[in-house]
């Protein structure tokens, strides 16, 4: 397990009582190079160190990552005062590509979480204040539900506790092994 992942595992454990520690910011760019940043929910990590999030194939996020799969993640743990910045390459996984992975992510959602994917197309006008209507069933994974795997290429870790603060850079070498370097914060 890479050194940065050991640290991230520890950070998640130390902040498990803080609901906000399950959220991180994911940045992407559109076809014109305009950056977009949004908060997403951490859904886990694969054995090969990919961050897992879920999405809707009708969303801007999906469209942007389809066109330009390079993304950046910034994850701050306020309790431990640690920041992880990941350079990633996104893989968008639909039901057609991996039914088992996508279905397993759907099945982990609460009914309230599933409802969000059944309200209609994200970003379309909502003309009145009435309750959003559900279009579909919880039993069947909607075709527009997908999983995003973020393969990490490099990690910039900063611990803001202490003086001086502690910063590390982690990157894969030409053989695919993780190497680390302490940096001046």
Q: Give the pLDDT confidence of 4-22 residue by residue, as tens digits.
A: 999 999 999 999 999 999 9
Are 85 and 156 spatial neighbours (Cβ–Cβ below 8 Å)? yes
Are 122 and 135 spatial neighbours (Cβ–Cβ below 8 Å)? no
pLDDT in the model for residue 131: 79
DSSP string, 101-145: HHHHHHHHS-HHHHHGGGS-STT----SSSPPPP-S-TTS--TTE
pLDDT in the model for residue 133: 79
Q: Is the pLDDT of residue 65 over 80?
A: yes
State the chain's maximal CA–CA distance in angstroms. Answer: 56
* Sign of the C-alpha dihedral computed for residues 34, 39, 40 and 46 taken in this order: positive
Mean pLDDT of 60-66: 97
Q: Is the pLDDT of residue 128 over 80?
A: no
- Residue 185 to residue 176: CA distance in whole angstroms: 26
Q: Give the pLDDT confidence of 90-125 residue by residue, as tens digits.
A: 999 999 999 999 999 999 999 999 999 998 889 888
Mean pLDDT of 72-89: 98
pTM > 0.85: yes or no: yes
CA angle, residues 132, 135, 129, in degrees to nearest 5: 15
In what helix (H) or strand (E) does residue 90 lie, and over which residues does it extend?
A: strand 82-93
Mean pLDDT of 58-79: 97
Q: Is the pLDDT of residue 139 over 90?
A: no
């Amino acid at each position: 397990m890479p050194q940065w992942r050991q640290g991230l595992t520890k950070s998640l454990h130390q902040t498990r009582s803080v609901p906000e520690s399950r959220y991180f910011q994911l940045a992407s760019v559109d076809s014109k190079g305009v950056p977009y940043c949004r908060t997403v929910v951490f859904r886990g990590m694969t054995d090969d160190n990919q961050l897992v999030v879920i999405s809707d194939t009708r969303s801007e996020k999906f469209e942007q990552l389809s066109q330009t799969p390079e993304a950046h993640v910034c994850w701050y743990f306020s309790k431990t005062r640690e920041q992880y910045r990941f350079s990633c390459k996104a893989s968008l996984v639909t039901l057609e590509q991996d039914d088992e992975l996508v279905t397993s992510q759907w099945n982990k959602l609460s009914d309230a979480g599933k409802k969000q994917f059944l309200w209609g197309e994200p970003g379309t006008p909502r003309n009145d204040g009435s309750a959003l209507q559900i279009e579909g069933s919880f039993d069947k994974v909607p075709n527009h539900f997908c999983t995003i795997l973020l393969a990490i290429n490099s990690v910039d870790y900063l611990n803001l506790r202490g003086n001086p603060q502690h910063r590390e850079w982690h990157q894969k070498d030409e053989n695919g092994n993780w190497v680390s370097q302490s940096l001046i914060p």
